[in-house]
Structure 1
Amino acid sequence: MKTILAAYSGVLRGTGSSILSALQDLPSASWLSRSKLEKQLQVISVLQWILTFLVLGATCTVALIYMFCTDCWIIAAMYTAWLIFDWNTPKEGGRRSSWVRNWTVWTYFRDYFPIRLVKTHNLLPNRNYVFGYHPHGIFCFGAFCNFGTEATGFSKKFPGIKPSLATLAGNFRMPVLRDYLMSGGICPVNRNSIDYILSHSGTGNAVIIVVGGSAESLDCTPGMNVVTLKNRKGFVKLALQKGADLVPVYSFGENEVYKQVIFEEGSRWRMAQRRLQKLLGFAPCLFHGRGLFSADSWGFVPYCKTITTIVGEPITVPKIEEPSQEVLDQYHAMYVRSLTKLFDKYKTRFGLKESDILLIQ
C-alpha cells in the first residue's frame, strides 16, 4: 500500500515515471495487475478533482480561521496579508503554471473517460477568441481537461493560443483553491477578468465561457442534447466590443457521465432548484454516478463515457465598442447556426442518431 501511495504522489507531482518503477516493485498478485492499478489511479485522479472543486475552498477557509485561534496564528496572519495583497491577481490574467498544467495526474484524468480534443480549423495567433463551450454537464469535465490542463494537447493543436477557462468568481475568494485554479490558467467569469485578458495581454488569447452556466446543468442527463443559449448574448456582446472571434465548442458525451433526476418545469422541486441556483450561484442537482470500487454501485465517481470536444470554425467578429441590438442579434444568430451545424456534422460519429437534434432554449 505504501508503494501505491508513493507512486500516486509521484503522479501528482508530474513524475509519472515513478509509477512504472513502483509497479515493478509490487508483489505478484492478480488484484494488483498493472491494468487494474492504472484504472484505480484514473478513478482516484477524477475523484480528487471532484473533491477539490467541492470542498478544498471551504476546508481551507475553515482551517485558516482555526489557525488564528492556535499558536500558528502568525502563519495564518502572513497568508491573509498575502491574500489581501494578491486579491486582484485573478482579475488581471491570473498566474498560470505550465508545470501544473502538465502534471501526469491529468493524463490519468483524461484516460478515465477518456476525453479527446478535436481540432477542425486553425486559429491564428494574431487574433483573440471567445470560445462558447456546450453543454455544461454536471462538473464540466471536458472543459477542464481540455482547457485547464495540457492532457489533450491544446497547445500543440493550437500553437500560439493561450486558453483561459472562465469559472465562478466565488471560487477565487477561497484560500488555496484560488491559487490552484489560477495555476491551470483558470479565471473568474466576470467582465473585469475577461476584459483584461482580451485587452491587456496582446493577441493569441482564448477565453472559454461555459455559456449555459449552472442553469444548463439542470438539464444534463444521458440522452439529452439541450443547451441554454437563446437568451445568452452577453458573450457575443463581449466578443464584439473586443473584436474577438467567436468559436463554438461542443462536447459529445459530457451529459452521459452522470444520471440526474430531471424535474418538470413549474414543479415545486424545479422552482426550488432555480431559487437556490440564483442564491448560491450554482445549481443543486440530484445526480449520481458509480461507486469508488464498483461500477455497479452508486457514488460520486462519473461513469466511464467518452467525452469528445469539437472546436468549431471561428466566426470573424469586428470590433464595435457599442454594438446595436440589431448587430448583437445578428452575430448571436450566426453563432447559433454555427453551433447547430457543428452538432449536426459530428453527431453520428459519436453515438447519436441522424434524427437527434440540438435543442436550444
Structure 2
Amino acid sequence: MTRSKFIGSAGAIGLFCLMIIPNVGILIATFLYPKVLGLYFLIPYYAYNLSIGKHEARDGNGWNWFSENFFVFNIVRGYLNLKIEADSELKEAEAKEGAQFVFAVSPHGTNADYRVFIDGMLHEALPQTASKIRTLAATVLFHIPLVREIALWTGCVDASRAVAVERLKEEGGSLLVIPGGQAEQMYTQYGRERVYLKRRKGFLKLCLKYEIPVVPAYVFGVSDYYFTSAKLFGLRMWLVQNLGIALPLCWGRYGLPICPRPVDTTLVFDKPLYLSCQNPSNPSEDEVDKAHLQFCQALEKLFDTHKERLGYGDRKLEII
C-alpha cells in the first residue's frame, strides 16, 4: 500500500472515530454518572438544540471554512480521488441570478461517505449556487453529538417536507437530495449499480409544485467502496421501514465497515430537467408519474453516457 493510501484510509477511520468514540464515552459516562452528565451536558445541549439552536429546521448552520479546508476532509478527498463535473448547460443556467435547483444525487451507497466531502467542493463546480444549496439529511443525525455538528457545518438541514418547502420558497434556495435514502443503503451491492427510485417521487412533486428544475446526478465509484452481504436482509429492511434504522452489512479496507476502499470517485451533474404540469399548485398523480419516468430516463442516459469513460463500461444501471 502506498503512503498516500495509508494516510487516506487513516483519515477516513479517524473521521469516523471522531464522531463515534466521544458518543460511546458519553453513553458510558451517562450510565456511571447520570446526574452529573445530565445536569452539565445533556440537558443544556439538547435544550439549546431543540429551541434556539434548531438550525436544521431552518436554514442550517453551514461553516464554509470547515467544509472546504478541514484537513481530514482534504486527506480523504485525495484518497478517493474525488472529483465533481457539471454539464455545460447546468453551468450556464446556474450563472443566472436567482437560479435554483433540486440536485438529485444517486446512489446513496452503503454509507454515503462522499456526501460530507463534496460540500466543500461544490463552490468550484457550481460557483453561483453552491452557497444556496442545502442537503436534506435524516432527522436522527441531528440528535447525535458531533455527528449533528458536522452535518450542520457541511450544509445539511432536516429531511422533512416542511423544511424542504421553506427552502424552495426562498429566492435562489436549492436542495441536494439523495432520493434512495436508507432503503438504497440496504440494496447497495458491491460491483452493481443499483438505485432505489421506483417508489421515490416526492422530490419530483416538489419540483412540479414550485416549478424548479431537477438536476440528475450520479456518483461513479461509490458502489464499490465496500463489499456487502445480504444476510438478514428482511430484518434490516424492517428496521428501516419501521424504525428508520439502517444497518448495512459491509466491509471495506482492512475489513472495516468504517473505511471505504480507495476507489476513484466522480460526481457528475447532468443538465437541468425542466418539468411541467397544468396546475403546479396541485400536480396530478399522472403528471408526477410522467415526471418520474422522465427523471429515470435522464439518469439512465447520464450513467450510460459517462460509464465507459469512468471505468464502468461493463455495468448497467438498475432502477429498483
Q: Quick check: 1:50 aligned with 2:16?
A: yes
Match of 1:290 among 249, 253, 276: 253
How far off is 1:345 after superposition?
A: 0.3
Q: 1:143 to 1:81 in 2, by over 3 A?
A: closer
How far off is 1:143 after superposition?
A: 2.7
Alignment map for 1:1-361 (pairs within 5 Å) = 36=3, 38-52=4-18, 60=26, 69-70=35-36, 73-74=39-40, 76-86=42-52, 88-102=54-68, 103-121=70-88, 122=91, 123-124=93-94, 125-147=97-119, 150=120, 153-161=121-129, 162-200=132-170, 202-203=171-172, 205-263=173-231, 269-291=232-254, 300-318=258-276, 320-353=280-313, 356-361=315-320
Cα offsets for 1:242-271 (capped at 9, x unmatched): 2221010101110101000135xxxxx222
Number of matched pairs: 310
Is residue 142–residue 309 contact of structure 1 (8 Å, CA) maintained in 2? no
Is residue 144–residue 165 contact of structure 1 (8 Å, CA) maintained in 2? no
- Cα distance in 1 for partners of 2:53, 2:151 equals 14
How far off is 1:308 after superposition?
A: 1.0
Q: Any stretches of 5+ residues in structure 1 without a counterpart?
A: 1-30, 264-268, 292-296
Residue type of the partner of 2:104?
G
Is residue 60–residue 175 contact of structure 1 (8 Å, CA) maintained in 2? no
Secondary structure, in 3 states, of the residue corresponding to 1:226? strand
Q: 1:65 to 1:240 in 2, by over 3 A?
A: farther
Residue type of the partner of 2:309?
R
Is residue 168–residue 189 contact of structure 1 (8 Å, CA) maintained in 2? yes
How far off is 1:65 after superposition?
A: 7.9
Q: 1:180 to 1:66 in 2, by over 3 A?
A: farther
Q: 1:79 to 1:315 in 2, by over 3 A?
A: same
Secondary structure, in 3 states, of the residue corresponding to 2:252? strand
Q: Percent identity?
A: 22
Q: 1:71 to 1:234 in 2, by over 3 A?
A: closer
- Cα distance in 2 for partners of 1:198, 1:64 equals 40
- Cα distance in 1 for partners of 2:30, 2:146 equals 10
Secondary structure, in 3 states, of the residue corresponding to 1:95? coil
Q: Which piece of structure 1 moves more, 302-311 or 60-69?
A: 60-69
How far off is 1:55 after superposition?
A: 5.8
Q: 1:82 to 1:159 in 2, by over 3 A?
A: same
- Cα distance in 2 for partners of 1:64, 1:198 equals 40
Is residue 188–residue 223 contact of structure 2 (8 Å, CA) maintained in 1? yes
Is residue 55–residue 157 contact of structure 2 (8 Å, CA) maintained in 1? no
Secondary structure, in 3 states, of the residue corresponding to 1:303? coil
Cα offsets for 1:186-243 (capped at 9, x unmatched): 112111221121113x21x331111111111222222211111112111101111222
Give the structure 2 partner of residue 15 of structure 1: none
Cα offsets for 1:3-50 (capped at 9, x unmatched): xxxxxxxxxxxxxxxxxxxxxxxxxxxx9xxx72x5443222211333
Secondary structure, in 3 states, of the residue corresponding to 1:304? coil
Is residue 30–residue 38 contact of structure 2 (8 Å, CA) maintained in 1? no
- Cα distance in 2 for partners of 1:118, 1:141 equals 18
Residue type of the partner of 2:106?
H
Is residue 57–residue 171 contact of structure 1 (8 Å, CA) maintained in 2? no
How far off is 1:117 after superposition?
A: 0.8
Q: 1:243 to 1:256 in 2, by over 3 A?
A: same
Give the structure 2 partner of residue 13 of structure 1: none
- Cα distance in 1 for partners of 2:163, 2:133 equals 13
Q: 1:95 to 1:344 in 2, by over 3 A?
A: same
Give the structure 2 partner of residue 14 of structure 1: none
Q: Which piece of structure 1 moves more, 185-194 or 318-327?
A: 318-327
Is residue 61–residue 174 contact of structure 1 (8 Å, CA) maintained in 2? no
Q: CA RMSD in A?
A: 2.6
Per the normalisation by structure 1, the TM-score is 0.78
Residue type of the partner of 1:45?
G
Q: 1:275 to 1:317 in 2, by over 3 A?
A: same
- Cα distance in 1 for partners of 2:28, 2:178 equals 29
Cα offsets for 1:162-206 (capped at 9, x unmatched): 322221111112344323311111112111221121113x21x33
Give the structure 2 partner of residue 19 of structure 1: none
